[in-house]
């Protein structure tokens, strides 16, 4: 909306839904194909790279060799391209970049990290490589450490925080939600609209205002028990069972709350969605038939 329909080019290796095709330019691009990426940059006169390609936490643990190729080799490709063509580059980081030795409540921007997943290791690598390219080559590298991102547009994608997306789909589809994390597991979260806005606002911030290359950003923290309580305002009959799996061990090493005070002070970051507002937005998108129920809640 801000830059014009034809000025933002989306790429992936998957066939897109029709609405994506109709929303603007879409191209096939494999993050591991350096020459093809070069061609896209030249042919489309690219000046920013927003690099979201990655295997997430739980998926990465099940295929470490592929995660290393996509998350690390793919990063090296885009860094070299940004250096070669003097592009501004954004690479997202994550709560997964922290580990069991990090302070967890809250977690500041600068502290010991030492993550325990290949996803987290690759993101610390990205943060440090970006910092290196900034100091060595003058590259405008920027990164935000995101919490769990909640979106109605896509299905859960294999991340440890994706239970907070799956609960909405399961509540509407079957009325039964099976959670793989303990009910008291607190993690930081953010709604997709705030996530995308944070990227745009961060990338538009004059470089002179930035005191670091990687910032924490967050909106809220909650537990499975707390989101269940909120979802039951829309689906009162929702049944929940807890069947803990390996993702619990990952979550136990992650921040409970993010300290994003530097982002708020340096470039004016401010979230707009809390847990009740996020749940309202999710149900409005996924099931408009809940409108009457939502109106009763609002009243």
Cβ neighbours, 10 Å, residue 12 = 15
Cβ neighbours, 10 Å, residue 214 = 22
Q: Is-catalytic flag, 234? A: no
- Catalytic hit among 119, 180, 215, 234: 119
Counting other chains too, the contacts that 36-39 makes at CB distance below 8 Å and 24 or more residues apart are 37/77, 37/78, 37/81, 38/81, 38/84
Token duo for residue 74: 């793919």
Half-sphere exposure of 33 (CA within 13 A, CB side): 11
Asked if residue 142 lies in contact with residue 213, where contact means CB atoms within 8 angstroms, the answer is yes
User: How far apart are the C-alpha atoms of 139 and 267, rounded to whole Å?
Assistant: 19
User: How far apart are the C-alpha atoms of 190 and 96, rounded to whole Å?
Assistant: 15
User: How far apart are the C-alpha atoms of 231 and 222, rounded to whole Å?
Assistant: 13
Distance of CA 179 to the CA centre of its chain: 20
The catalytic site residues sit at 119
């Amino acid at each position: 909306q801000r830059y014009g329909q034809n000025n933002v080019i989306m790429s992936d290796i998957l066939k897109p839904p029709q609405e994506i095709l109709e929303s603007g330019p879409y191209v096939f691009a494999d993050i591991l194909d350096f020459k093809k990426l070069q061609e896209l940059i030249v042919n489309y006169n690219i000046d920013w790279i927003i690099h979201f390609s990655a295997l997430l936490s739980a998926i990465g643990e099940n295929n470490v060799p592929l995660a290393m190729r996509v998350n690390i080799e793919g990063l090296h490709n885009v860094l070299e391209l940004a250096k070669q063509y003097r592009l501004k580059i954004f690479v997202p980081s994550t709560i997964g970049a922290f580990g069991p030795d990090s302070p967890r409540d809250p977690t500041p921007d600068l502290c010991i990290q030492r993550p325990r997943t290949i996803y987290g290791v690759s993101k610390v690598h990205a943060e440090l490589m970006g910092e290196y390219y900034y100091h060595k080559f003058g590259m405008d590298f920027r990164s935000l450490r995101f919490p769990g991102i909640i979106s109605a547009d896509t299905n859960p994608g294999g991340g440890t925080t994706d239970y907070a997306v799956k609960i909405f789909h399961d509540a509407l589809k079957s009325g039964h939600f099976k959670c793989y994390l303990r009910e008291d597991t607190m993690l930081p979260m953010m709604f997709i609209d705030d996530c995308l806005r944070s990227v745009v606002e961060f990338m538009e911030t004059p470089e002179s205002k930035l005191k670091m290359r990687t910032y924490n950003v967050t909106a809220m923290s909650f537990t499975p028990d707390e989101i269940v309580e909120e979802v039951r305002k829309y689906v009162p009959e929702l049944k929940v069972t807890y069947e803990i799996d390996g993702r619990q061990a990952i979550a136990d090493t992650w921040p409970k709350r993010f300290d994003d005070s530097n982002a708020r002070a340096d470039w004016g970051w401010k979230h707009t969605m809390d847990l009740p507002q996020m749940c309202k937005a999710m149900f409005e998108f996924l099931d408009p038939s809940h409108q009457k129920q939502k109106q009763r809640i609002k009243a």
